[in-house]
A = this chain, B = another copy of it.
Amino acid sequence: MAAPSPVSPLAPKSYPDLPPVEGVRFATAAAGIKYKGRTDVMLALFDKGTQAAGVFTRSKCPSAPVDWCRARLKGGKARALVVNSGNANAFTGRNGLEQAKFTAMLAAKATGASPAEIFLASTGVIGEPLDARKFEGVFEQMAAAARPDGLFEAAKAIMTTDTYPKVATATAEIGGVTVTIAGMAKGAGMIAPDMATMLSYVFTDALIAAPALQAMLSKGVEASFNCVTVDSDTSTSDTLMLFATGAAARRGAPKITASGDRRLAGFKKALNALLMDLAHQVVRDGEGCRKFVEILVEGAASARAAKRVAMSIANSPLVKTAIAGEDANWGRIVAAVGKAGEKADRDKLAIWFGGIRVAHKGLRDPAYNEAEVSQVMKRETIPIRVAIGAGGTGAARVWTCDLTKEYVAINGDYRS
């Protein structure tokens, strides 16, 4: 059994003050799903009329809660969100869906909502049956205790191998009225989001209709969660949801129905920055990590090609172990560019570590100073820039962490 991990050295040094989001209340409980002596379930209660949007894993083997949420999202309405840690309820067959249904039924009963307005997620071990009877009586107590300022505790309750809770907040103006956005995320391993991340929930009091929320969320995820990777392993449970309670309408916020509405400009900017913040927090808690790595690829035939090359670099075990060893081994970056399958001109390739050009026109930059580059490699954040010389202007930026012995230790005995 791996020893409990200390907090990631890349964890945020402090947490923001989290203002309440009008129309949302949170509660947590210890339902004893798997962990002892800690909370393992969170409940978010939404005011009537709350609109919902979501993006989910592209895995062909999604978890039962992902199936449940996809089907429920068609209504666009939400009254509650239930997330448990300790068990993913994935690869649990028909029984898994029954347990999801039973969970939603219990939550509906405790909150006075319809099961169709309850959203669910489970995170933890795959393949173990979830016993939803453990929630019996729990949601009633949670509903009674739910508080507007409970987001931080909720973020803690859904942690698995995470070493710190991940939260972020922002404000924006819509039609002259200030609205609040706040969100949480969890995830540290099995992180290669393909549509969304492990689990992330964002809440706002803005009054925005579900289709407009969905359009903004689907766009926002592309440059944030879909551009981070810890270990190239896409989860069966990836879920990112955005809930808008509309409570700000009482303070005069206008009702927005189209994502193209110009009054959303500031909101979109704030939402995208918040999604990026949460996505980076997930990488910074990458299992066993010590380095936060930003990879910028330029000069590709298209943005899509640039992203594929950037992800090939970000997922290369040899690049990631070199970074763990503080070794500016740009030859491995060349290999990762080469294997990506996208057009690249080997003889025009240039590579920078932290602004220092180490390779130029397809060979080692004669001017580069190994000692200077070594200093860059000792930093906590390593920026890597790669111009692949394919003659285009396609660019992409992705984020990852290093691959250390601790990653192997954490994952060599997680299930037991």
Contacts and interface: CB of A to CB of B under 8 A. Distances in A.
A93 interface: yes
Contacts of A335: 59, 61, 90, 126, 190, 233-236
A363 interface: yes
Contacts of A57: 338
Given A317-B231, A318-B233, A327-B413, A346 B407 contact: no
A274 B367 CA distance: 47
A62 interface: yes
Given A91-B331, A327-B415, A346-B91, A318 B234 contact: no
Contact of A332 (B233, B342, B403): B233
Nearest to A346: B61
State the oligomeric state as a number of copies.
2
Contact of A407 (B59, B129, B231, B321): B321
A250 interface: no
Nearest to A316: B233
A336 interface: yes
B338 A59 contact: yes
Contacts of A236: 334-335, 338
A270 interface: no
Contacts of A93: 347, 361-363
Contact of A322 (B88, B316, B317, B412): B412
Interface string A329-344: 1111011111111111
Given A127-B330, A127-B363, A232-B315, A325 B412 contact: yes
A124 to B, nearest CB: 10
A165 interface: no
Chain A interface, DSSP helix/strand/loop, else mixed:
loop
A61 B349 contact: yes
B331 A126 contact: yes
A94 interface: yes
Nearest to A319: B233
A14 interface: no
Nearest to A2: B325
A235 B334 CA distance: 10
Contact of A362 (B59, B91, B234): B91
Among the interface residues A60, A322, A405, which one has the most CB atoms of the partner chain B within 10 A? Answer: A60
Contacts of A413: 325, 327
A338 B411 contact: no
Contact of A415 (B125, B315, B331, B364): B331
A114 interface: no
Contacts of A342: 60
B408 A60 contact: no
Interface residues of A, number: 73
Interface in A42-82: 57-62
- The residue among A58, A192, A325, A409 with the most chain B CB atoms within 10 A of its own CB is A325
B92 A127 contact: no
Interface in A398-416: 403-405, 407-409, 411-416
Interface of A: 57-62, 88, 90-96, 125-129, 189-190, 192, 194, 231-236, 315-318, 321-322, 324-325, 327, 329-332, 334-344, 346-347, 349, 359, 361-364, 403-405, 407-409, 411-416
27 contacts: A59-B338, A60-B338, A60-B339, A60-B344, A61-B338, A61-B344, A88-B331, A90-B334, A90-B335, A91-B359, A91-B363, A93-B363, A96-B363, A127-B330, A127-B359, A127-B363, A129-B364, A189-B318, A194-B339, A232-B316, A233-B336, A234-B335, A236-B338, A324-B412, A325-B411, A327-B416, A329-B415
Given A59-B335, A60-B337, A94-B362, 12 more contacts: A59-B339, A60-B341, A88-B331, A91-B334, A91-B363, A126-B335, A127-B363, A233-B332, A236-B334, A321-B408, A322-B411, A325-B411
